[in-house]
Structure 1
Amino acid sequence: MSAHPSAGPRVITVGAGLLDEALRAQAVQTVPVSWRPPLPGTADALARVLADPRRQAANELAVSRLTSARPHLVGVRRAAEILPEGTFLHAGPPITWERASGPLRGALIGAMLLEELAGDERDAARKLAAGEVELRPCHEHATVGPMAGVVSPSMWVFEVRDEEHGGTAYCSLNEGLGKVLRYGAYGSEVLERLRWMDAVLGPALKATLERTGPVDLRSLIAQALQMGDELHNRNRAATSLLLRELAPAVVEAAPGDAAAVLRFVNGNDHFFLNPAMAAAKVSTDAARDVPGSSLVVAMARNGTDFGVQLSGLGGRWFTGPAGVPDGLYLGTYGPGDANPDIGDSTITETSGLGGFAMAASPAIVRFVGGEVSDAVRATRSMYEITLAEHPAYQIPGLGFRGTPVGIDVTLVARTGLLPVVNTGIAGRVAGTGQVGAGLVRPPVEAFTAALAALAEQAAE
């Protein structure tokens, strides 16, 4: 309250909206303070991690590596060149066929049919259940995959190199929206499209990039943010910029297929999502393996589990149950048709894009629901759990402030705020495809488990 009685009472209200409203209704001056309690059960772990003398310098080093990465698209290659023999990659933390969700099972069945490793759907499911193909997370092989994230040998992948720190990351080519493999569909139209991508699109893009040389993805992403993209669920500007960059070389490198290739890319506003994911992956990988760092370097979902990894804890996964997104649905689909959250595309949020950059993309609310003010509020809140503002990725509507980047698990625990994630929604039944898009809440358990493990390491 005020130190001067004649000035009348002034009350500081902390996290109590109803009390603040009641006092204001009585003409009492209030000073509302935004505050949330720490995540339950984290006090001891927080104290140990915060007392680690390595933490501040470790986080400064890790986040500086992340923000200084310079991802360039350097090529397109067949996945067989990077995959261990007899292995399919998938999104998210490790998972078995028995625990796999409908869309992941559908994508794996489709990959079996694409590779002619099974005669039909039942044969594919039987062989996958028997372990005839090894299933490994994309992240363990310097790769990321949207939604189900399945990568099999005859698919093609973007190759992105960090020109600052030397790392390399890969991501599959984007099929488009609707009934596509990454959403768990595997009908004849899905396989036909994938075969065309194998025979035509992949070789054409490979030849194109051999002509153009490396494409500066950091620069394209920075431009796209200022043109209304957030680089997760809105990539229209970025896809247009990439198309303008590559189109002349496509015509020169593959004159017979140029029209079909350019038509395919032009009709797919999400085409840039996949190189953006590889750019995000190579950037966050630059921040890995800094002892004592509490920086989050990966968030990923497999349709059953949501997992995170920390810079200071190597490749260990910390998981919780994946939630069902809340958003807008296509046609007659509704929440009952939705699978829990799935995909490696949360690597965009991990690198300061996607949900963290929604303030740059007012139009995104038409895709994931909500109001423009919600998008701005979401971005502003993420500054509370991050260590830096990205020097290149800036938001015009916030006075060209850098996007919030560098999620610190200790800040998540201290504020109770969880990362904002926007996402597509896959149908829970294998073969359905996309049913909507929206926002999803990560599980608290993944972050508290990671914090506890970091505390154990700090005490050693």
Structure 2
Amino acid sequence: GDVLGPALQTSTRATGSIDILSIVVQMIQMGDEGHNRNRAGTLMLLKEWLPSLITSGLASSDVSDVVSFVSGNDHFFLNLVMPACKLMTRAGNGVAGSTVVTTMARNGTDFGIQVSGCGEQWFTGPAQLADGLYLGSYGPADANPDIGDSAITETAGIGGFAMATAPAIVRFVGGTVPDAIATTRRMYDICVGENPRWALPIMDFRGTPTGIDATTVLRTGSLPQINTGMAGKVAGLGQIGAGLVTPPMECFVAAIDALAAAAPR
């Protein structure tokens, strides 16, 4: 708004660069998984801004409003996690023949993926309904199929892939703590590697599973696990819950078919 944007611009310029990925490193060791739980990340970001906000010359009431707004939304840091993850995965796009998934996104109707070896080409299937916990009296009949760009977090190796580090998230998306740990273990089976910088304490500081391999998804039948918010299917209703969802297998079949067709003969 008229206060938040200018205030954060002033604070960021005064602070200098803020290492978003460094905050991610810390927050996944503090119980956040980077998609549906960003509480520690949001507070660490606010910590970076606070000194320059206080000395910015802004009215104290404006500073108070900014701090209240940011600290009052545990998902605030997700707004920066997503573009950081996109820049990471974008760097891996365009490698000839590569089956690594570089984008996952959904628009409430379709779910689409991109794989490195096919560049900007999309492979789509129907968006799925999430399975999870609903707010208030809402239920499955009120939910829209999965929607949003935030699955870029799982594409980069956090979110649902780092559920083991965020046991409290099961109170938000459903399931049990053993389920969360088992999910992370299962994601290692469909990834080409691990990110040692994003170390999971409960996994003896093993790096998060990173680099979804579309071929391995087909071979194992195991789909990427996404933590997601559930939007109401009536416009303006907003979020009605949170849960777990996977892409449709059709996306991966189509991607591998396209790579096979493009392979030198």
Same-fold call, TM cutoff 0.5? yes
Separation (CA, whole Å) in 1 of partners of 2:236 and 2:41: 29
Per-residue deviation, 1:253:
2.5
Separation (CA, whole Å) in 2 of partners of 1:215 and 1:350: 23
Separation (CA, whole Å) in 1 of partners of 2:239 and 2:21: 29
Q: Which has the larger radius of gyration?
A: 1
Q: Deviation string for 1:379-421 (max 9, x for gaps)? A: 0000000011102101000000000000011111111110001
- The question of 1:308 aligning with 2:113 is answered yes
Q: Among residues 25, 28, 38, which one is paired with 1:225 in the alignment?
A: 28
Matches within 5 A, 1:10-409: 197=1, 199-253=2-56, 255-256=58-59, 257-409=62-214
Indicate the residue corresponding to 1:39 in structure 2: none
Indicate the residue corresponding to 1:439 in structure 2: 244
SS at match of 2:228: strand
SS at match of 2:125: strand
Separation (CA, whole Å) in 2 of partners of 1:200 and 1:455: 53
Structure 2 residues without counterparts, runs of 5 or longer: none
8 Å CA contact 1:294–1:310 kept in 2: the answer is yes
What is the CA RMSD across the aligned residues, in angstroms? 0.9
Q: Deviation string for 1:85-137 (max 9, x for gaps)? A: xxxxxxxxxxxxxxxxxxxxxxxxxxxxxxxxxxxxxxxxxxxxxxxxxxxxx
Between the aligned residues of both structures, percent identity stands at 59
8 Å CA contact 1:207–1:254 kept in 2: the answer is no
Indicate the residue corresponding to 2:226 in structure 1: 421
After superposition, the Cα gap between the structure-2 partners of 1:384 and 1:245, relative to the gap in structure 1 and judged at 3 Å, is: same
Per-residue deviation, 1:292:
1.3
Q: Deviation string for 1:258-311 (max 9, x for gaps)? A: 111111001111100110001100100111111111110000000000000011
Amino acid at match of 2:33: E
Under a length normalisation based on structure 2, what TM-score does the superposition of the two structures give? 0.97
Separation (CA, whole Å) in 2 of partners of 1:335 and 1:252: 48
Separation (CA, whole Å) in 2 of partners of 1:301 and 1:320: 10
Separation (CA, whole Å) in 2 of partners of 1:212 and 1:319: 42
Amino acid at match of 1:231: G
Amino acid at match of 1:339: N
Residue correspondences, number: 263
